């Protein structure tokens, strides 16, 4: 347990190893570690940013989808409305056409009736004349008159 030269030998050795470590070991390793730390931090940052971007893009996509859906719904609505309108218009047109046809038909019928009436009137007048002629020709026989008048009446 005697103290001797070993003491100084160890001091010198110690100094040399510390110098070596300070020169060739510590800075190299620490620098590598710090650079890696920086790199990892950058990487994480980038990942975060990408995540945020993704989030934003997702939001945007959802918005666009919603818009598109709304637009589509609007278009369908409009189309439905338009279809109803067309149907209504067609109905109205059909009704108007029907009415018009009915009026025309009625007018024609009226016309026919009038013509028939005219014809009837003409033929009644003829008949009456013919009947009167007959009556005047065959004198008056009650019975015969009677029959004639009846005949006349039935011809009316």
Partner 1 sequence: MAGENPASTTEYIQHHLQNLVYGKLPEGFERHTEAGAEVLTADTWTMAHGAAEAAAMGFWAIHVDSMAWSIGLGIIFCWLFRRAAVRATTGVPTGFLNFVELVVGFIDGSVKDSFHGKNKMVAPLALTIFVWIFLMNLMDLLPVDLIPKLMVLAGVEYQKIVPSTDPNITMGMALGVFVLMLYYNIKIKGTGFIKELTMHPFNHWAFIPINLFMELVGLLAKPFSLGLRLFGNMYAGEMIFILIAMMFAAGAGTGVLFGGLNAQLFGTETSGIFWLAIFILVCGVCWMNLQGKISTGRTVLLTLGLLTVAGGVFALGGGLMQWGWAIFHILVITLQAFIFMVLTIVYLSMAHEEDH
The residues of the shown chain that bind partner 1, judged by CB under 8 A, are 1-11, 13-15, 17-18, 20-22, 24-33, 35-36, 39
Distance CA 123, CA 117 (A): 10
Choose between 11 and 94: whose C-beta lies nearer to partner 1. Answer: 11
Distance linking the first and last C-alpha atoms of the chain = 170
Q: Could you tell me the smallest distance in angstroms from the CB atom of residue 9 to partner 1?
A: 5
The DSSP letter of residue 138 is T
Choose between 20 and 83: whose C-beta lies nearer to partner 1. Answer: 20
Q: Could you tell me the smallest distance in angstroms from the CB atom of residue 37 to partner 1?
A: 9
Q: Could you tell me the smallest distance in angstroms from the CB atom of residue 3 to partner 1?
A: 6
Q: Could you tell me the smallest distance in angstroms from the CB atom of residue 66 to partner 1?
A: 44
Residues 6+ apart with CB under 8 A from 127: 152, 155, 156
Residues 6+ apart with CB under 8 A from 124: 156
Choose between 35 and 99: whose C-beta lies nearer to partner 1. Answer: 35
Choose between 5 and 140: whose C-beta lies nearer to partner 1. Answer: 5
Residues 6+ apart with CB under 8 A from 142: none
């Amino acid at each position: 347990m005697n103290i001797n030269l070993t003491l100084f030998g160890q001091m010198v050795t110690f100094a040399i190893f510390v110098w070596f470590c300070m020169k060739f070991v510590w800075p190299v390793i620490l620098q590598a570690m710090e650079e890696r730390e920086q790199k990892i931090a950058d990487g994480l940052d980038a990942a975060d940013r990408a995540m945020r971007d993704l989030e934003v893009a997702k939001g945007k996509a959802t918005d666009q989808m919603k818009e598109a859906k709304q637009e589509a719904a609007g278009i369908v609505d409009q189309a439905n409305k338009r279809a109803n309108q067309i149907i209504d218009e067609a109905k109205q047109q059909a009704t108007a056409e029907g009415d018009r046809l009915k009026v025309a038909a009625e007018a024609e019928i009226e016309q026919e009736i009038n013509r028939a009436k005219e014809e009837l009137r003409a033929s009644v007048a003829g008949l009456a004349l013919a009947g009167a002629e007959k009556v005047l020709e065959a004198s008056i026989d009650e019975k015969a008159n009677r029959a004639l008048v009846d005949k006349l009446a039935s011809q009316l």
